[in-house]
Structure 1
Amino acid sequence: MANSGVALLLVDVLDAFFAPGRPAYYPDSAHVLDPIKALLTRAREQDRLVVHAVERHRPGLADFEHKKIPVHCEIGDDQSPYVPGFQPVESPHEIEVPKRRYSAFFGTDLDLLLREQGVQTLVVGGVKTNVCVRASIQDAFACGYEIILAREATNSNRPHLAEASLEDIDRYFGSVVSVEQAWERL
């Protein structure tokens, strides 16, 4: 069993957001990769549960998300691969949770999985702060988890919305801390 109590939740570290030319790409996304890598390395060293929550839409089927944003991350497409070096390693302590909505909790078994592992605290990083990261954090809070968001390990193509989301997350849902402080929690 992974060292329980604290887990790392990484949200959408996929080519769709980080590879130029993809519909969800934005240039500033690259700034979160080093901080996320630091958290991932620490979680692996500490034998923590690592959850890779990633978009996985079904090709050719209606999807409500696509009414608001471009089609992206369909199973098997060229946007769905992980950013090189960020894919789950072969370990029972590192898993993928496919999601079809912004939140890693909505319509998935993530809450059940975390409870079974004794997780009470989630350290979070990923993209985009004001969409998938915030939705996941809000649902994690509603499920009763302590939330630690590493400020440098998240951003958005809408910086003003990312800043507003960071303020709301820190005020209402958890703690927004430096990547060093988050690293220490792992």
Structure 2
Amino acid sequence: MQNPRTALILVDVINSFFEPGQPNHYPGVEDVLEPMRALREAARRSGAIVVHAAERHRPDFDDFEWRKLPVHHIDGANDAAFFADFAPQGRNETVVWKRRFSAFFATDLALFLTEQGVSRLVIAGVKTNVCIRATAQDAFANGFEPVVPREATNSNRPHLAEASLEDIHRYMGRVVPLAEAVDMLS
């Protein structure tokens, strides 16, 4: 197989998870920030595509998620804003707004990546057992190779994160050390 074109998907790097006091913040979430910065910098240096996939909901409209979760990530709200230095920058970066866990569900992400000739995705962000797993599963279902760098994702449910990483590696793609994922983006 020839060298696949690789893109970086940063999932939910928003204030809700990373700003202390926000509704989805949890102890240890900050451990993924430096690994994600390393991935992002490798992608920026090489010109690889960076997709910022972030959850965003419409104000003043009902959303099916509210039947299971409290109202969150409303367009324009502080919890939905990109965290610190993780806002998109440069011409090789784009945003995909998602309303469910997967960055693929009801978005044009698969179409966009296919049009760009991408076949492999390095997926990083939060939470391993929810949005990362859903995105990896849908990446695989859409014909992309999902790669999850172990150090660039975590969860407030470590046992579920480990089970999800095992399933991703066994059934969908690969779970690799950070250095290997950086090399894929370089």
The two structures share one fold, judged by TM-score above 0.5: yes
Instruction: State the shift of 1:5 in Å.
Output: 1.1
Superimposed CA distance per residue, residues 150-186 of structure 1 (whole angstroms, 9 cap, x where no aligned partner): 0000001111100100000010010000000100111
Structure 1 CA distance for aligned equivalents of residues 113 and 58 of structure 2: 25
The one-character-per-residue Cα deviations of 1:63-122 (angstroms, maximum 9, x if unpaired) are 12222222211100010111111110031x100000000000000000000000000000
Aligned to 2:104: 105
RMSD: 1.0
String of CA shifts for 1:125-160, please: whole Å, max 9, x gaps: 000000011101100000111111000000011111
Residue 96 (structure 1) aligns with: 95
**2: distance between equivalents of 1:24 and 1:67?**
17
- Output the CA distance in 2 between the equivalents of 1:22 and 1:60: 21
Misfit runs of 4+, over 2 Å: none
- SS of corresponding position for 2:170: helix
Contact 1:24 1:72 (C-alpha < 8 Å) held by counterparts: no
Q: Is 1:181 aligned to 2:175, yes or no?
A: no
Percent identity between matched residues is 55
Alpha-carbon separation, structure 2, partners of 1:36 and 1:109: 23
Count residues with an aligned counterpart: 182
Could you tell me how far apart the structure 1 residues matched to 2:140 and 2:96 are? 18
Cα distance in 1, alignment partners of residues 106 and 169 from structure 2: 25
The question of 1:144 aligning with 2:143 is answered yes
Match of 2:79, SS? coil
How is 1:57-136 mapped onto 2 (pairs within 5 angstroms)?
Answer: 57-91=57-91, 93-136=92-135
CA distance in 2, matches of 1:55, 1:7: 19
Instruction: Please state if 1:159 is matched with 2:169.
Output: no
Q: Is the 8 A contact 1:56 1:74 kept in 2?
A: yes
Q: Where do 5+ consecutive residues of structure 2 fail to align?
A: none
Instruction: List gaps (5 residues or longer) in structure 1.
Output: none
User: Residue type matched to 2:174 in 1?
Assistant: S
The alignment's TM-score, normalised by the length of structure 1, stands at 0.95
Tell me the SS of whatever aligns to 2:150. strand
| Aligned amino acid, residue 39 of structure 1 | L
Q: Which amino acid aligns with 2:117?
A: G
Distance in 2, Cα, partners of 1:16 & 1:135: 19
Q: Using the alignment, how far apart are the partners of 2:40 and 2:70 within structure 1? A: 29
Separation of aligned partners in 2, 1:156 and 1:72: 18
- Matched residue type, 1:13: V
